[in-house]
Amino acid sequence: MTYLLILIGYSILMIGLGIFWSRRVRASSDFFVAGRGLNAGLIFSTLLAANIGAGSTVGATGLGYRDGLLAWWWVGSAGIGSLILAFTVGPRIWRVARDNNLFTVGDYLEFRYSRTVRGLAAALLWVGALAILAGQLIAMEQIFRVTAGLSKTMSCLLGAAVITIYFTAGGLHAVARVNVLQMAVKLLGFGFALIFLFWATGGWGVLRMHAGESLPEAQAIPYFDLFGGGVSSVLGYLVLLVPPFIVSPGLLQKIFGARDESAVRMGVGMNALALLAFAIVPVLMGIIARSQFPGLENHEQALPQLLTNSLPLWLGGLLLGALFSAELSAADAVLFMLTTSLSKDLYKTFLKPDADDKQLLKMTRITAVVCSLIGAGLAIWFGSVIAALKIFYTLLSAALLLPILAGLYSRRVTARAAVATMLTSVGITFTLELLTNRQGKWGLPSLIFGTAAGLVVMLAISFAAPPSPRNKK
């Protein structure tokens, strides 16, 4: 009951803050890009809050429980991708967005290529984004079920309701500022919990001995090795997670709200460094859970089990707030990506080009409610946080990596080449995923082959014809 009251109180606080900040939303530019007024601190907090979500907490702790130190690469790869974003793609695409009053990545793809590219990217993105939204809600469901005794359906619907209300009230203005509180709660909760658990277990030596006792002898040594799964395992993490954190529309559209290039570099760069440091926290908590609960059938229950069985009530409540913050902040980033894309890339572009600001905001809020309900339904159906996130990250990289990078750094790539590239990359990647049961080919991830094929198609089509006047940087 105590944990349930904590969840209710925190939900009310998030909703109240969203409604408070909604007073600043007077036009679509306020909702979509916060009037392009976010400083480096707000960019840092809203990106870090978005990036530390279900995969970085419940999912990463579960991977740490199962794989040991190798799981660092799950969040660590996201940090590497964010470093690349901070000093290459981020400032460059921000300039394009500012100079041409672009609100979404769909706006950019139409500006650089064509409406067809925009529509295709949006359609692919919706499929993947609904999967990652479901992943955040799955994590909430696992937490609610263990800590508050709520049913799976009730947990998913509660999480979806809280996100929808505070997001639809204030858009990026509300999200960026609510994320500051969420980030602070996350860092405090995970920091104090890890310190307490390390102290309670007797330190690294004792922890390593107890965790090692639960493993077969052949697995004990690689379990405590950062490269324990071999080069192919590390490469799998890098290929899966570095590209999405360079081209994710949910992150790029938050960058569009920055007030200047310095805010982009500083804010995204600080976010990257924080991710690299945070990456070890859930892994160590997973190893601690392995030493205390060696027989878990579902390794993604490791963090909820620590929360309820290994921490005093006051610290468990703080960690619960941190977990709830993590899932909410990542979910609102996905909802932001979904709704802005649906309202701008479908409604405004194809269905009602003459829609005014009031109509656009109304449609954005309606799509937020619909997407939340669909995400809740998928969460009830899906069973694993990591499985849901892998679908999103793979689809995102296959569809958007080459078109976005080529559009920023080359004038020659045509709209026809971009469409063919997206279809080729996505088609080959997911065909190989299906044929190899998600194991890749020759020890390499399927995404490498799909991206390579897409690059060949892009070069072949682009260099077969002179650049079009539409191909602008």
Out of 78-87, 138-147, 286-295, least confident range: 138-147
CA distances from 435 to 21, 237, 349, 442, 451 (A): 49, 20, 37, 13, 17
The distance in angstroms from the start CA to the end CA of the chain is 56
What confidence tier does 194 reach under pLDDT thresholds 50, 70, 90? very high
What confidence tier does 77 reach under pLDDT thresholds 50, 70, 90? very high
pLDDT at 68: 93
Residues near 52 by beta carbon (within 8 Å), at least 6 away in sequence: 183, 186, 275, 278, 326, 329, 330
Higher pLDDT, 190 or 472: 190
pLDDT at 265: 97
Report pTM. Answer: 0.82
Reduced to 3 states (helix: H, G, I; strand: E, B; else coil), residue 230 is coil
What confidence tier does 447 reach under pLDDT thresholds 50, 70, 90? very high
Tens digit of pLDDT for each residue in 15-64? 676 666 555 555 555 566 667 888 999 899 889 887 888 788 888 999 99
**DSSP secondary structure, 296-358, as one string:** -SSGGGHHHHHHHHTS-HHHHHHHHHHHHHHHHHHHHHHHHHHHHHIIIIIIIIII-TT--HH
Tens digit of pLDDT for each residue in 145-170? 777 777 777 877 877 887 777 666 65
Average pLDDT along the chain: 84
> In this structure, which amino acid lies at residue 258?
A
Tens digit of pLDDT for each residue in 86-140? 999 999 999 999 999 998 888 899 999 999 999 898 888 777 778 778 877 887 7
Share of the chain above pLDDT 70, in %: 88
CA dihedral 460, 461, 465, 470 (to 10 degrees): -130
Backbone angles phi, psi at 464, to 5 degrees: -85, -15
Work out the widest C-alpha separation in the chain, in whole angstroms: 68
> In this structure, which amino acid lies at residue 471?
N
